[in-house]
């Protein structure tokens, strides 16, 4: 069969993304199989092949007046992700944002831009505080609360998150 089930789903996802993100600047083949609630008062830019997976809980993408949200190519979001920008939230290319992650640039005390560089992986339920920068290739462990910058290629783990070498997680996993 030329048109497989996956191809059809992908086509449906692309059409759905066009509808959900109308008025946003979209790259080519952005797809959304999951539900995304978009509030666009500022500028939302999604790169090529950005995707939103399907899940039991809807994601939300809120960009207030005068703010911007920028997402790089091939970055993927699982379900229940909540992104809210009052100033600036920037996410790099090829990032993986797991389910129920919360990213916002406004907290109780301050508003400061959040920047996530390329190839970052953020685990389930992690929370990023305003003003943090996650360096290239870093991993934020599930459930972490990130209050300070994460250097490139490090593992942020805990509440509040502490920095560990990436190898910590690899060795424990291979042992298991």
Partner 1 sequence: MGALSNWLSRRDVRRRATLGRDVVLRGTIWMRGEGRVSLGDGVVIDGSLAPIELHAHEGAEIVVGDGARIDGGTSIESRQRVHLGARVRVGAFCKILDNHYHRPQGDHRREVPRSSPVDVEDDVTLGARVVLLPGAQVGRGSVVSPGTVVTRRVPAFSHVVGFPASVRGMS
Q: Which of 30, 67, 91, 157 binds partner 1 (CB under 8 A)?
A: 157
Parallel, antiparallel or unpaired: strands 127-128 and 102-104: parallel
Q: Are 93 and 118 in contact (CB under 8 A)?
A: yes
141 is a contact residue toward partner 1 (CB under 8 A)? yes
171 is a contact residue toward partner 1 (CB under 8 A)? no
Nearest-5° Cα angle at 126, 45 to 70 = 10
- Considering only the stretches 3-11, 22-30, 43-51, 153-161, report the one whose residues sit in contact with partner 1 under the rule CB under 8 A: 153-161
Q: Which of 56, 65, 108, 109 binds partner 1 (CB under 8 A)?
A: 56
| Cα–Cα dist 92/137, whole Å | 10
How far apart, in Å, are the Cα atoms of 41 and each of 24, 61, 172?
10, 11, 45
- Considering only the stretches 20-28, 65-73, 103-111, 162-170, report the one whose residues sit in contact with partner 1 under the rule CB under 8 A: 162-170
Q: Which of 8, 11, 15, 166 binds partner 1 (CB under 8 A)?
A: 166
Least Cα distance to 81 among 116, 111, 109 occurs for 116
Nearest-5° Cα angle at 72, 106 to 33 = 90
Window 26 to 55, contacts with partner 1 (CB under 8 A): 55
| Cα–Cα dist 152/37, whole Å | 31
10 is a contact residue toward partner 1 (CB under 8 A)? no
Judged by CB, which is closer to partner 1: 42, or 125? 125
Residue showing tokens 């400061």:
112
Residues in contact with partner 1, shown as a per-residue x/- string from 118 to 137 under the rule CB under 8 A: -x-x--xx----------xx
Binding site for partner 1 (CB under 8 A): 55-57, 94, 96, 99-100, 119, 121, 124-125, 136-137, 139, 141-144, 155, 157-159, 166, 169-170, 172-173, 176
């Amino acid at each position: 069969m030329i048109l497989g089930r996956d191809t059809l789903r992908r086509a449906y996802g692309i059409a759905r993304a066009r509808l959900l993100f109308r008025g946003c600047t979209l790259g080519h083949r952005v797809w959304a199989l999951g539900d995304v609630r978009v509030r666009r008062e500022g500028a939302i830019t999604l790169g090529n092949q950005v995707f939103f997976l399907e899940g039991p809980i809807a994601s939300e993408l809120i960009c207030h007046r005068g703010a911007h949200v920028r997402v790089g190519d091939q970055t993927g979001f699982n379900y229940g992700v909540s992104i809210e920008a009052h100033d600036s939230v920037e996410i790099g290319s090829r990032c993986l944002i797991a389910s129920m992650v919360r990213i916002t640039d406004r907290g109780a005390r301050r508003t400061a831009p959040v920047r996530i560089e390329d190839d970052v992986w953020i685990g389930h339920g992690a929370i990023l505080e305003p003003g943090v920068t996650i360096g290239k290739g870093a991993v934020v462990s599930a459930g972490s609360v990130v209050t300070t910058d994460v250097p490139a290629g490090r593992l942020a783990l805990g509440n509040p998150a502490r920095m560990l070498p990436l190898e910590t997680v690899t060795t424990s996993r291979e042992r298991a």
